[in-house]
Structure 1
Amino acid sequence: MDKAKFEKIPQRQGVSWRYLEIQDCSGVCDWHYHQEFELVLHRHTQGNGFAGHYQGELEHNTLWLISPDTPHSFACRPLSEDTLPERHSVWFKREWIANMIFNCLELRKLDAVLKRAQKGICLSKESGERIYQLLIQLKIDSHIECLSTLILILGIVAEDKSATTLLSFKRQHSDERETTNNKYDRAKIEKLSFLIEKNYHESITLADLAKSLCTSESSIHRIFEAHFHESFSQHLKKVRLNHAAELLTHSDLPIHLIAEKVGYHNQANFNRLFKRYKHVTPRQYRKEFGQSAEV
């Protein structure tokens, strides 16, 4: 394996964890690691998964729990000609789940599971199917309902008696240490996130970011593709629309002003992009999740 890349998991506005569905995960993903736990489910898939020194087969409903800083990768192909391989990933931070466990006696069972997850865990296919049925709800539920669904998912993980350990030992190898290069990569990613968060409402461009980081536009483009798994324009759009969603639920500002505040000066374009991303119009989103009536 090549040297593992550090992957920055983008955080959604107003959410303390992250879920991502990849509807066609055919091919090989980069050998990478991140700071979060990852609960990853493969469906309609055959292939191989790698975590640290472990290599194992991927099948329908293969479900792994991978600890922070553990390098991993997946090589997937369709299970049949009629289906596409899917990957469903849930990421959550060590500090966040530790605080949840400390403050909620009901979650104490998770403590032992997460310690065991330092060597990686393969859960049962039955748990994979049950968790998939819950993951479906994450696409339509509100933030609070999604959090309750995540707790149900973690409960299934904690109660799985058939779970097995992936790694025979957990070692601190060169991929996991904070080398100078890793620190440099992480610093660039963190600075990119900071610059976008600070200037998302402006007409920020790839050239602006490249100039701020004293590097080329092609280098910035590669960072977004490798670490955010999306282009700069896609990432910027998501940041803007997540801020818009926050304003829709926690302010009485008219929609056209919210659009301008997050960088869109054409409300029709803003409405179209918002509906494509959130599956409802800004007006419907405010009506469903807002604390006050539409103005």
Structure 2
Amino acid sequence: MKANLERVPIRIGSSWRYKKIDGVEKNCHWHFHNEYELVLFRKNNAKGMVGHFERVIEKNTLWLIPPKMPHAIELLEEKELQCESHIIWLPKEWVENMIFSCTELRRMGELFKRSSNGLCFSTSTAEKVYQLIEKLFKDSILDDLGYLIQILGCLCSDKETRPLQLFSKQEASDKEGKEKIDLVCQYIDDNYQNSITLLNVAEHLCTSESTIHRLFQSHFGESFSQYLKKLRLNHAANLLTHSRLPIGIVAEQVGYRNQTNFNRLFKDYKQLTPNQYRKKFSSL
């Protein structure tokens, strides 16, 4: 299932947007924004998914998600629970203009460049960011902008930042490598519903199977088949929670023609059968 664009209305008189979620939380479907999203999880019993990355959300989890990166929140237990999250959205053009116009903010350029696959910050940085967020909207709008710049400064100073998504093993070392990875990902995203093989990917890129194999191992930290399986099963999980399609149809739509095999793989990956998963996490 394709992620949906979720538009962020900018606050009148402000170039950026802040939102606090304090209360009952529900499953958050796959979506993306045109803005950068900085999200601080203070109290959640859920699993966060960014692209093909998945992790249980602990207290003071702080992520920077780039524009157009699909992400979702999946509750681990009850269908609803108390939570506390803080979200800041920054328009891409605004960020770029600020970096270009203000010499003092040039160091932010490297931070946002590294965020192309999502970033996870240290808990100590998350705590500093929380203390600054607590000061927002108590004084003037200029004061709020000052606090935002301090927040960005905290992010730039974090020495323990790590990538969230596909490149956690090794960043692309050159432009050619990055372009090849983008082509691989796009091809798989467009064809995961079909019966595709490592040979298909290699032929699409006009290279060898061994080259694609090395690409997956060095940049993705897993084999082509593992990557494809996770992608398919994550799409299946989304269909199970956000549609009433029969499980057999869900299996077919994500590339599995044998429902028994699909059920087995899904349970191995999610620790629940497709039917159990739907009953536990369905948003319908």
Tell me the TM-score normalized by structure 2.
Answer: 0.57
Q: Give the aligned partner of residue 19 of structure 1.
A: 18
Tell me if the contact between 1:25 and 1:76 (Cα under 8 Å) persists in the aligned partners. no
Cα deviations by residue, 1:143-167 (Å, 9 ceiling, x for unpaired): 1110000000000011100111011
Task: Give 2:101's aligned residue.
Answer: 103
Is the contact made by 2:25 and 2:83 (CA closer than 8 Å) also made in structure 1?
Answer: yes
Cα distance change, pair 62–163 in 1 and its aligned pair in 2 (3 A): same
8 A Cα contact 2:41 2:61, kept in partner: yes
Cα pair distance change 1:25/1:126, threshold 3 Å: farther
In the alignment, is residue 89 of structure 1 matched against residue 87 of structure 2?
A: yes
Please give the secondary structure, in 2, of the residue aligned with 1:122.
strand
Q: CA deviation at 1:94?
A: 1.1
Alpha-carbon distance in structure 2 between the residues aligned to 1:13 and 1:55: 35
Distance 1:42 1:164, change over 3 A: same
After TM superposition, give the deviation of residue 26 of structure 1 in Å.
Answer: 2.4
2:82 aligned counterpart, secondary structure: coil
What is the aligned length? Answer: 173
- Could you tell me which residue of structure 2 aligns to residue 166 of structure 1? 164
Match of 2:64 in 1: 65
Offset of residue 15 of structure 1: 0.3
Quick one: distance in 2 between partners of 1:22 and 1:12? 17
Label 1:99 to 1:176 Cα distance change in 2 as closer, same or farther (>3 A): farther
Deviation, 1:141, is 2.4
Aligned to 1:115: 113
Report how far residue 140 of structure 1 moved.
1.5
**How much does 1:142 deviate?**
1.5
* In 2: Cα distance, 1:175 partner to 1:107 partner: 37
Q: For 2:166, what is the secondary structure of its paired residue? A: coil
1:174 CA displacement: 8.7
Cα distance in 2 for residues equivalent to 1:32 and 1:142 = 32
1:148 is matched with 146
How far has the Cα of 1:95 moved from its partner? 0.9
* Matching residue of 2:123: 125
CA distance in 1, matches of 2:144, 2:28: 27
TM-score normalised according to structure 1 size: 0.55
> What do residues 209-262 of structure 1 show as CA deviations (whole Å, max 9, x unaligned)?
xxxxxxxxxxxxxxxxxxxxxxxxxxxxxxxxxxxxxxxxxxxxxxxxxxxxxx
1:167-246 equivalences under 5 Å are 167-169=165-167, 171=182, 173=186
- Correspondent of 2:137 among 139, 162, 177: 139
d(CA) in 2 for partners of 1:62, 1:141: 27
Alpha-carbon distance in structure 1 between the residues aligned to 2:36 and 2:189 = 14
Task: Name the structure 2 match of 1:30.
Answer: 29
- C-alpha contact (below 8 Å) 2:44/2:83 kept by paired residues: yes
Contact 1:70/1:176, CA 8 A, preserved across alignment: no
**Tell me, what secondary structure is at the counterpart of 2:7?**
coil
How far apart in 2 are the matches of 1:93 and 1:175?
Answer: 29
Counterpart amino acid of residue 87 in structure 1: S
- Unmatched segments (≥5 aa) in structure 2: 168-180, 191-284
Aligned to 2:253: none
Structure 1: any 5+ residue segments left out of the alignment? 178-295
Counterpart residue type for residue 15 of structure 2: S
Amino acid at match of 2:22: Q
Q: 1:57 Cα deviation (Å)? A: 1.6
Task: Tell me if structure 2 keeps the 8 A contact 1:24–1:87.
Answer: no
TM-superposed deviation, 1:108: 1.3
Q: Is the 8 A contact 1:41 1:63 kept in 2?
A: yes
Q: 1:61 to 1:69 in 2, by over 3 A?
A: same
Q: What is the deviation of 1:176?
A: 9.5
Counterpart-to-counterpart distance in 1, 2:154 and 2:42: 18
Q: 1:59 to 1:142 in 2, by over 3 A?
A: same
Query: For 1:123 and 1:102, how far apart are their aligned partners in 2?
Result: 24
**Conserved in 2, the CA contact under 8 Å of 1:45 and 1:58?**
yes
Counterpart secondary structure, 1:69? coil
Per the alignment, residue 49 of structure 2 pairs with: 50
**For 1:234-291, what per-residue CA distance to the aligned partner results, in whole angstroms no more than 9, with x for missing partners?**
xxxxxxxxxxxxxxxxxxxxxxxxxxxxxxxxxxxxxxxxxxxxxxxxxxxxxxxxxx
What residue number does 1:222 align with?
A: none
Letter in 2 for 1:71: P
Matches of 1:30 and 1:36, distance apart in 2? 17
In 2, Cα distance between equivalents of 1:174 and 1:27: 32
State percent identity of aligned pairs: 40
